[in-house]
Structure 1
Amino acid sequence: MKRVLAATAVGGLALATAFLGAASASAADTATVYVVHGIPDTPVDVYVNGERTLDDFQPETVAGPLDLPAGSYKVDITAADAADDSSPLLSTTADLKGGDNVSLVANLDTSGNPTVNAFVNDVSSVGAGESRVVVRHVAAAPAVDVRAGGKVVLSDVTNPNEGSLTVPAGTVSADVTLAGTDTVVIGPADLKLAEGTATFVHAVGSADKGTLGLVSFTVSGLHSAPGGVPAGTGPADNAWALPLAGVVLVGGVALLLTSGRRLRADKS
């Protein structure tokens, strides 16, 4: 299944300090956010409502889940160690709605320009013995096929689309090839897919510059009774990084089109 997402915005996991400083909120009044920095070689500072909340954040990290009170926030992203937020690289006013579960991904578009995409995370239950895998193409690269065990399971995926599969739990050897060819551009890599989880894999970087890679996170507890709170897991193998000090959010919310749900952000 492929979903086209349009989004422009910026943010930061260290936003938690600024966000939660406003007020505590019930679960019904919060949004769950996972954040992915997929822009190579681009450390940044992140400002929230004029306050620097993230200093010299490095790329290829994931953080979450972050429970944010519903509301509107002004977020600016600047060059690392900028004196202030007066000359941001990107700015947005982001509106978050309670009950949403989203990924905010800073990445390169097909032309290699920095941009941001917002995705709704499918954290619905999976059957006994099953696991969900979602692959997102957010790299400066042409259309790709995703293979598992040498067999194409997702074909002709383009930036910024995603494909989703429900598979038996276990370890899967996967790679990414140029669409319609056997030319491998990422992998192979072993994905350990535990029962009752959803693994979100992001192909990031630039094909031309040789910086393609994978950044991923996993949500667990999807075989539990309704009302359980899914939680993200930490790093596994070398496919991704989730630093304990990852107060990071390079991302933001603009127009999000999927499952009839919408997040709004205005880029300035």
Structure 2
Amino acid sequence: MKKILIAGIGAGALVALGAVAPANAAEDNAMLSVLHGVPGLTVDVYVNDELTLDDFEPGDLAGPLELPAGTYTVAITAADAADASEPAIGPVDLPLEAGGNYTAVAHLDAEGNPTANLFTNDVSDIAAGEGRLTVRHVAAAPAVDVLAGGSAVISGLENPNEETLNLPAGTVEASVAAAGTTDPVIGPAPVDVTEGTLTIVYAWGSLEDENLDLAVQTITGMHSSPDGVPAGSAGLVATNSPEQQVGIWAAAGLAVLAAVALAAGFARKAITAKAER
């Protein structure tokens, strides 16, 4: 099991740097990516009590890795912990179904407490001429609205929820505002929607600690027409610049802010806990 996981993570690291990987796993397997959305703290990740990711840094994305379907127990500790007996997050069980595509995210909840969630990535076919945008709010921040042309296209998005839209390929001017308002806190900014591609935007960090950040994961190869992209790639770009958004990207920016806040809180708690030990 450990060799399978480490091999997969190694492949995932290459993917994060731009290597090509399929969006879908073999019939009996699942695809899993892991995002570290807790700022200010380097961690180790244990899977089924085996050290799988060593010195995993905030904003890093590992994967996708292909694993046999089943349930995996994940625990996240401060870097260089002796074992997984005193995790900062978890242990949590990740049920992976055959053929599924998932991202596990370590982040802060709305109150700034460390937590983790497993998200299912929608890699179903996308109509010709369209792209798919998913915004995930994983930050210590309140609910937000995502605006396009001054009107809300996503309303009241809260941590740890997500919203998905299929949009015509192109560029959308988007912004993010506190829920129920139209005064942007992020943007307006141009967001590129790419045909046949799932773009996932994570808002992570802490609003209170002013360390919100943005992480972007892309999965390609979902074009429904015969001349669509034949293979997929997944990667992560972390930035606090709002320029990497689509109509929903603004929302993603907010999500990132929230996530950053969460990360900061987690970092402080984990460091304090480690010092006390």
Fold agreement, TM-score > 0.5:
yes
Q: 1:231 aligns with which of 221, 230, 233?
A: 233
Amino acid at match of 1:73: Y
Cross-structure match for 1:252:
none
Aligned to 1:128: 128
Aligned to 2:117: 117
Please give the secondary structure, in 1, of the residue aligned with 2:126: coil
Aligned-residue sequence identity (percent) comes to: 52
The answer to whether 1:37 aligns with 2:33 is: no
Does the 8 Å contact 2:107/2:115 carry over to 1? yes
Gaps of 5+ in 2: 11-24, 245-277
Task: Considering Cα pairs closer than 8 Å and 6+ residues apart, tell me whether 1 or 2 has the greater RCO.
Answer: 1
For residues 24-62 of structure 1, the C-alpha deviation after alignment (integer angstroms, 9 at most, x for no partner) is xx8111111222221121210112344322222111122
Distance 1:222 1:214, change over 3 A: same
1:97 aligns with 2:97: yes
**1:28 is paired with a residue of what secondary structure?**
coil
Is the CA contact 1:126–1:132 (under 8 Å) kept in the aligned structure 2? yes
Residue by residue over 1:223-246, the C-alpha shift from the partner in whole angstroms, topping out at 9 and shown as x without a partner, is 1469x6543245498578xxxxxx
AA matched with 1:35: V
AA at the equivalent of 2:167: V
Match of 1:263 in 2: none
- CA distance 1:75–1:163, shift in 2 (3 Å): closer
1:182 partner letter = T
Return the letter of the residue paired with 1:181.
T
1:33 aligned partner, one-letter code: L
Q: Distance in 1 between matches of 2:136 and 2:74?
A: 24
The one-letter code of the counterpart of 1:232 is A
- Residue identity matched to 2:86: S
Work out the CA distance in 2 between the residues paired with 1:18 and 1:75: 15
Equivalent position amino acid for 1:17 in 2: A
Summarize deviations over 1:125-147 as a string: whole Å, max 9, x none.
Answer: 12111111111111111110012
| Compared CA separation, residues 127 and 138, structure 1 to 2 (3 A) | same
Distance 1:145 1:152 in 2: 6
Aligned to 1:192: 192
Instruction: State how 1:1-268 maps to structure 2 within 5 Å.
Output: 15-17=5-7, 27-89=26-88, 90-224=90-224, 230-233=232-235, 235=237
Structure 2 CA distance for partners of 1:187 and 1:221, relative to 1, 3 Å = same
CA distance, structure 2, for counterparts of residue 18 and residue 165 of structure 1: 30
Contact 1:19 / 1:69 at 8 angstroms: preserved in 2? no
Cα deviations across residues 158-203 of structure 1 (Å, max 9, x unaligned)? Answer: 1121111111101223322111123433444433221111111111
Shift of 1:106: 1.4
**Cα 1:93–1:184, aligned 2, differ >3 Å: closer, same or farther?**
same
What is the TM-score of this pair, normalised by structure 1?
Answer: 0.72
Cα distance in 1, alignment partners of residues 102 and 144 from structure 2: 24
What SS does the corresponding residue of 2:27 show, helix, strand or coil? helix
C-alpha contact 2:8 2:66 (8 A) present in aligned 1: no
The alignment covers a number of residue pairs equal to: 223
The answer (yes or no) to whether the contact 1:18–1:53 under 8 Å persists in 2 is no
Return the letter of the residue paired with 1:85: A
Within 1, Cα distance between the matches of 2:144 and 2:8? 39
Q: Name the CA distance, whole Å, in 1 between partners of 2:186 and 2:38.
A: 16
Q: Distance in 2 between matches of 1:212 and 1:81?
A: 26
Q: In 2 relative to 1, CA 188–116 (structure 1 residues): closer, same or farther, beyond 3 Å?
A: farther
Q: Say if 1:162 and 1:72 are closer, same or farther in 2 by CA, change over 3 A.
A: closer
